[in-house]
Structure 1
Amino acid sequence: MTCSAAGGKTPTALRTTLKMQKLCTSPLRGEPGLCLMSPPPPECTFIILDKRRWTDSGSEEAQCMIGDVNFFLSDPEDLSLAELEIMIAEPDYRGKGIGKEVTQMMMHYGVAKLGINKFQAKIGLDNEVSISMFKKLHFHQVSVCQVFKEVTLETTVDESLRRRLLRQVGHMTERDYLAARGGRRQAASQAATGAPA
Structure 2
Amino acid sequence: MNQSIQTVLFDLDGTLLDTAPDLGLALNTLLIEHQYQPLPLTTIRPWVSLGTTALIRKGFNLGETEPLDALRQRFLTIYTEHLADQTCLFPGMAEVLATLESKKIQWGVVTNKAARLTDPLMQQLGLAQRSICNISGDTLAQCKPHPAPLLHACQLARSIPEQCIYVGDASRDIEAGQRAGMRTLVALYGYIEDHETPAQWGATGMLNQPLDLLSWVN
Establish whether TM, by shorter chain, passes 0.5: no
Structure label with greater radius of gyration: 1
TM-score by length of 1: 0.28
Higher helix share: 2
TM-score by length of 2: 0.26
